[in-house]
Amino acid sequence: MQRGPQPADFADVRATNLAVVLRYVRNHAPCSRAEIAATTGLNKATVSSLVADLIERRLLRETGLTEHRIGRPATMLVLDGSPYAAIGIEVNADYLTAVAIDLAGQQVLSWRRSFAGLASSPAQAATAIAALGRRAVNRVLKEDRRVLGLTVGVPGLVSPDGVVIMAPNLGWQDVNLRDIVNRALGEPGFPVAVDNDANLAVLAESRYGAFAGSQNLIYLTGEVGIGAGIISDGRPLRGHRGFPGEIGHITIDPQGPPCACGRRGCLEAIAGISAIIARVLPDLAGDGDLTDLQPEVDEVVRRARAGDPAALRALDEVGRALGQGVSILANLLDPEVVVLGGYFVPLAPWLLPPVEAELKARRIGPEQGGAQVVASILDHGAAATGGAATVLDHVDAGRLPRL
């Protein structure tokens, strides 16, 4: 269909302007109507009308605060956190997390459940995911909030319409997770989306992490699998089909251990958390199903703290492999910071030194090219928080909740 220039639809312009004001307040609150008008270029009467609309939708509220400039005092505006929440759910091989945040970005719930990812069929897994989603939705509704949307993060390749093309560490192939969750929630009337866990986690990191606002930031998931979420020149890197950042499947050692993807010696077959546990705790091998690895990780930390030489040697080898992966990313993308997430966080005291040593040895730019490597402050909630944050991004982009 040919579409030439057309007169802008009034409703479209209005929605766009509402989003402009909402985003301005998100970034500058508390702020006055006059300030919004002066900065956005919208006229004062328009801003007043837009603000009235946003207050009626309960997206903004007036604070008691006033700012005395020359002339009349101005009433200040902030985002209204109370009426809405966005939900994110993270699926992993050994646990599920749910996070809800309000419109202002405050966390209103954060749950973690153990989950036998690899032992569950896609249908069983979807039931567990939907059950957790339903509980989160009910909790939000009980607090008299409306749900703006729910996004599920999965460790695998996800198509834009929410089909998990493959997730080797869950044993999934071509699972239409969005449809399944949507149906299990009873077609809930809010948008349900599915995305790659690393893509979501990096959004959370760039919004709420220690390096929030960084224009060049990489997040590495430290789970059974390892994936990279990438913000490059201020934008999330999405690739041709949405599958970038699969650093977990670069070959570190062609003779190395088998990987869930069917190849050998991939980074995650050496430095993924199951591989770390197998290497550091060989005496506990074959302890059964993969459900919540936290107790094993606690034991790895205990041995490392106690100075157990075998444990320290194993963590150093893992850190060197991880450093090889990080230096490939750093040489390609020139990040300001590489954030290690998930189970890498409690292991960071032992992983960071070998990672930094490898980065220094392999990076073409001097002194690691200026890239820092740090542990995430968001812990296991990053992908779920990012899932909820994408819902807020849609609101900020103009998909406002109906009155």
Residues forming contacts to Zn ion in the complex (CB under 5 A) are 249, 259, 261, 263, 266
Report d(CA 184, CA 267) in Å as an integer: 35
By beta-carbon proximity to Zn ion, the closer residue of 147 and 224 is 224
From its phi and psi, is residue 300 left (phi > 0), alpha (psi between -120 and 50) or beta? alpha
Q: Cα 146 to the chain's mean position, in Å? A: 22
Q: Which is nearer to Zn ion, 91 or 266 (CB)?
A: 266
**Shortest separation between residue 253's beta carbon and Zn ion, angstroms:** 12
How remote is the C-alpha of 354 from its chain's centroid? Answer: 26
- The residue (of 19 and 259) whose beta carbon lies closer to Zn ion is 259
Kindly write down the DSSP assignment for every residue of 217-235, as one continuous string: EEEE--SSS--EEEEETTE
The secondary structure of residue 380, as a DSSP letter, is G
Shortest Cβ distance from residue 186 to Zn ion (Å)? Answer: 37
- Of the two residues 275 and 388, which places its CB atom closer to Zn ion in the complex? 275
CB of 254 to Zn ion, least distance (A): 12
| Nearest distance from C-beta of residue 183 to Zn ion, angstroms | 32
231 phi-psi bin (left φ>0, alpha ψ -120 to 50, beta other): beta
Phi-psi group of 335: left, alpha or beta (phi > 0 → left; psi -120 to 50 → alpha; rest → beta)? beta
DSSP single-letter state for residue 379: G
Q: Where are the alpha helices (DSSP H) in 224-305?
A: 267-271, 273-280, 294-305
CB 81 within 8 A of CB 104: yes
Least gap, CB of 249 to Zn ion (angstroms): 4
**Least distance from C-beta 78 to Zn ion, angstroms?**
47
